[in-house]
Homo-oligomer: A and B are copies of this chain.
Amino acid sequence: MGNRHTSLKDLARELNVSISTVSRALRNHPDISPEMREKVKQLANLRKYSPNPLAMGLLKQETRMIGVIVPDLVTHFYASIISGIESLAKEKGYFILIASSNESAEKEKESIENLRKARVEGLLICLSQETTDTGHFENLLEQGIPLVFFDRVCLQGQIPTVTADNAEAAGKITRHFYEQGYRRIAFISGPEQLNISRERLAGYKAGLEACNLPVDPDLIERCNLSHDSARQAMSRLLKLPNPPDAVFGINDTVAFAVMKEIKEHGLRIPRDMGLVGFTDEFHATVVEPQLTSITHPTFEMGRKAAELFFDKIEKNAPPETIILQTKLVVRESSAKHSD
């Protein structure tokens, strides 16, 4: 396997100088003669020398790798956040190691261990929907491992986090429904331990109150974010003696499932039932009717999360809480007026 890279030693031997001279020349150390510097650099170029990150890592005790854990890899949402993380990481000369928790607290813990074993310098995490125990995170904190949460977060104040302004966004949705003439607005939420569930629920309630609508517990459903469980939640809403005339799904995946359920019940969207999602998945404009949704600054969220990580390791900045603003994108599924 001719797999070997040129090393400083190779260059030094070829030039009949010492390894340290080569090292210094390449790194523009002041006390090296200009001619030597040039000579070394030329040969390095020719031989395509690139420093061995393993050796550097061992020496400097840094790997220039950061670990990222997301609930799943196949959703556009997380993929887009990861792109954001990667964009800054790349600029800083870092690589990212990606792991998926598959929404399981167990796998999340396992991934943390694996990534630590790989010696990542820090961890950027979006909680699995199962996660309730925060012990392992506090462990990391004590060990001084930089940690950043994004989207689904916990331990705010202690750990830097980036979230969307979930409450505000949910309020916007409720008020939008109201303006369109909907009066019985349901919310299909996710697991209670997730901040996104709690915050969107709070925003939903606040929105209702702002419109002088009552908060009806019957209209608040929960699902585990899967397609099937979202459909079941919608099915329960439809069986209500006094069913809703509009539904807010906690995310677009849920909304897509809900849409199917509504259609199968023979109801028409948006006339019989308004529908709004959250996070503006790529396919929101492909479904019929096109889905009104909240545009979530995913790429920016990833970049900010990475920024918080670098703030920590470069300036040892205190934990910051960043809240990103969202936009309501009105499409067909909630446009009762123009129907």
Contacts and interface: CB of A to CB of B under 8 A. Distances in A.
Interface stretch (A19-27, A47-55, A192-200, A206-214): A47-55
Interface stretch (A95-103, A149-157, A173-181, A233-241): A95-103
A53 B98 CA distance: 17
Contacts of A63: 54
A98 B98 contact: yes
B144 A2 contact: yes
B74 A79 contact: yes
**Chain A contact surface mostly:** mixed
A256 B286 contact: yes
B58 A55 contact: yes
Contacts of A76: 74-76
Chain copies in the assembly?
A: 2
B286 A259 contact: yes
B256 A119 contact: no
A4 B61 contact: yes
A97 B58 CA distance: 19
A53 B117 contact: yes
Contact of A287 (B61, B144, B287): B287
A242 interface: no
B58 A119 contact: no
A100 B83 contact: yes
A143 interface: yes
Interface residues of A, number: 47
Nearest to A290: B260
B61 A58 contact: no
A68 to B, nearest CB: 10
Interface string A49-74: 01011110110010100000000011
Contacts of A75: 76, 79
Given A144-B1, A144-B3, A260-B286, A79 B83 contact: no
A5 B119 contact: yes
A38 interface: no
Contacts of A286: 256, 259-260, 283, 286-287
Interface in A115-135: 116-119, 121
A1 B121 CA distance: 11
A197 to B, nearest CB: 23
A1 B61 CA distance: 11
Contacts of A73: 79, 82-83
Contacts of A88: none
Contacts of A79: 73-75, 79
A110 to B, nearest CB: 10
Nearest to A142: B2
Nearest to A286: B256
Contacts of A282: 74
A224 interface: no
Q: Which 3 A-B pairs have the closest CB atoms?
A: A2-B144, A288-B288, A74-B79
Interface of A: 1-5, 50, 52-55, 57-58, 61, 63, 73-76, 79-80, 82-83, 86, 95-98, 100, 116-119, 121, 142-145, 256, 259-260, 263, 282-283, 285-288
